[in-house]
Amino acid sequence: MYPPVTLSSRRQVQAAGSLVGLITLGLVGYLVGFTEIAATLRTLTPGQVGLLLGLGLLPLCVWGLALWLALATLDSPTTQGQAVLLFCVSLFFNSVTPFGQTGGTPLSGAVIAHAVQTPYERALAAIGSLGALNTLATLCLWLPAGVYLAAEGGLAGAREATAAAGLGLVGAGAAVLAGWRSRDWLADRLSGALTSLLAAVGRVFPGWSPPEPAAVAARVDGFVAAVERLATSRRRLTALAALAVAGQLGVVLVLYIALAFLWEPSLPVVLFVVPVSRAAAAVPTPGGIGSTEALLTGLLVTVAGATPAVAGAVAVLYRLTAFWVPALLGGVAAAGLLLDSRR
């Protein structure tokens, strides 16, 4: 059904992206000062680090509960514990594929479909919808923080950034509404485009037979039907949106506490900084490594007024506890699912 992807080409892309990210990360450390960052991190107690590690897992539990609810809505039930592990797996794929969530969602859908024994299009609709809600939740948190900072006048460019966030939220809402009203037309066009693409792939790989157009159309229709079911269940959609916002607030809390341990934190500043730092995920490095740390360090210096050493240390601490450790748990969970499937 799906075209083969050579491991060598995938590994080459991942290796190139990882190399660029590590070089960027090393450059940030060099400019800020590895010694200064390490000295700042050594001022933390084991209890403080343990607290941040625990707080970093809370958003995953919240988002895992949202995935459990979304799958239940699509008649693909699973346990809450497995849903949390599956969301950790999705975070792992987001961290090892270029372009973050965009590159990791199709792989996450395949793993969820296998683990829950549900059609791929349902699993993709569940995890994809959660990703979209998380993006909207990020913008919704950014707006009030930006309005506050713009009103205070203490941050240059806050008004422009807030206006951009507002336009982005309105544009995203308009695009979703237009796509929803034209979903049947879009499904037909997508089916035709996928059929042509798969036929072209079949000519490149003679040993692989592309699926029939009817089979492709059935898959696309199944995905659209799954999204429709999530969208029309208003109570559950509201619950999913609330869980998305709660998870984002959990991420904000991690950065706020990390900053409080080393500097004077400001909730509006943290609410403003976290969404902006997410923009670095658009850089084609696995998990935004390097680019996210660089952007976050710069934002903490310019917006929070932290020293470069403190900003670099907080960026490392935040990324470690809120992203890399949970992603590592997701990798372990993915390996466990793979071994279980081979048995």
In this prediction, residue 13 carries a pLDDT of 46
Q: For residue 63, give the nearest of 237, 248, 227 by alpha carbon.
A: 248
> What six digits make up the tokens of 341?
């499937």
Residue 3 counted as domain residue? no
Say which DSSP state 288 is in.
G
Residue 85 counted as domain residue? yes
Q: What is d(CA 116, CA 193) in angstroms, rounded to the nearest whole number? A: 29
Place of tokens 């346990």: 79
In this prediction, residue 31 carries a pLDDT of 58
Taking the complete model, does pTM exceed 0.75, yes or no? yes
Q: Which stretches of the chain score pLDDT less than 70?
A: 1-33, 99-100, 153-166, 168-169, 206-207, 279-290, 340-343
Total residues found in the chain within this entry: 343
Q: What percent of the chain has pLDDT over 90?
A: 27
| Other CB atoms within 10 A of residue 339 CB | 9
Q: For residue 247, give the nearest of 133, 109, 122 by alpha carbon.
A: 133
**Residue 301 · residue 315 · CB < 8 Å:** no
Going from the C-alpha of 194 to that of each of 190, 191, 197, 200, the distances in angstroms are 6, 5, 5, 10
| Angle between helices 34-41 and 308-319 in degrees, nearest 10 | 70
Q: What is d(CA 163, CA 165) in angstroms, rounded to the nearest whole number? A: 5
Q: Kindly give, in sequence order, each residue whose CB lies less than 8 Å from that of residue 49, ignoring residues fewer than 6 positions away.
A: 317, 321
User: According to DSSP H, which parts of 153-233 are helical?
Assistant: 158-181, 183-204, 213-232
| Other CB atoms within 10 A of residue 228 CB | 13
> What six digits make up the tokens of 286?
């696995």
pLDDT in tens, 199-224: 777 777 766 777 888 888 888 888 88
As for how many domains the chain has, the answer is: 1
In this prediction, residue 158 carries a pLDDT of 58
At 141, give phi and psi (nearest 5°). Answer: -75, -30
Residue 114 counted as domain residue? yes
For 195-202, the CB contacts below 8 A with 24+ separation are: 198/3, 201/3, 202/3
Residue 237 counted as domain residue? yes
| Other CB atoms within 10 A of residue 47 CB | 8
Residue 4 counted as domain residue? no
**Residue 134 · residue 258 · CB < 8 Å:** no
In this prediction, residue 4 carries a pLDDT of 43
Say which DSSP state 279 is in.
G
Residue 174 counted as domain residue? yes
Q: What is d(CA 48, CA 312) in angstroms, rounded to the nearest whole number? A: 17
| Domain region containing 64 | 9-342
Residue 1 counted as domain residue? no
Going from the C-alpha of 19 to that of each of 22, 25, 158, the distances in angstroms are 5, 10, 33
Residue 2 counted as domain residue? no
In this prediction, residue 17 carries a pLDDT of 47
